[in-house]
Structure 1
């Protein structure tokens, strides 16, 4: 899942080397923390959060086969 998130995000940003995805697994959920360069935050979130919502939709759809909830936090 980390590779999928990285593959989606890197073409969107100007500083692809600063893209970092960390995973935190708990008993009932898995949280992915996405960190990008401060100049690229707006590109990842998009106007009115459209790009962030689209990214989350793809990640949640891929993770739907697991019994744990999937969350994506953009930092």
Structure 2
């Protein structure tokens, strides 16, 4: 099984201009294992990309990974 936290970190952190401000919090809801990503405001636009294409590609990779949780994964950017 894949560690989703590490997967998100490996994908997103190299894209950031301020990797020291990268924070990832994990919490659980009824149907989802949610990951809240906090970044420097300057990096948010880079991660979202034009028309949300970059973040959609990241989410596709993260959502496709097999997890131990038995729940769906959700990635939120704060």
State TM-score, norm by structure 1.
0.90
Instruction: Check conservation: 1:29, 1:68, Cα contact below 8 A.
Output: yes
Q: 1:3 aligns with which of 6, 19, 23?
A: 6
How many residues are treated as equivalent by the alignment?
75
| Greater CA drift, 64-73 or 1-10 | 64-73
Any unmatched runs of 5+ in structure 1?
none
Q: Which structure carries more helix by proportion?
A: 1
Return structure 1 stretches of 4+ with deviation > 4 angstroms: none
State TM-score, norm by structure 2.
0.87
Alignment RMSD (CA, Å):
1.5
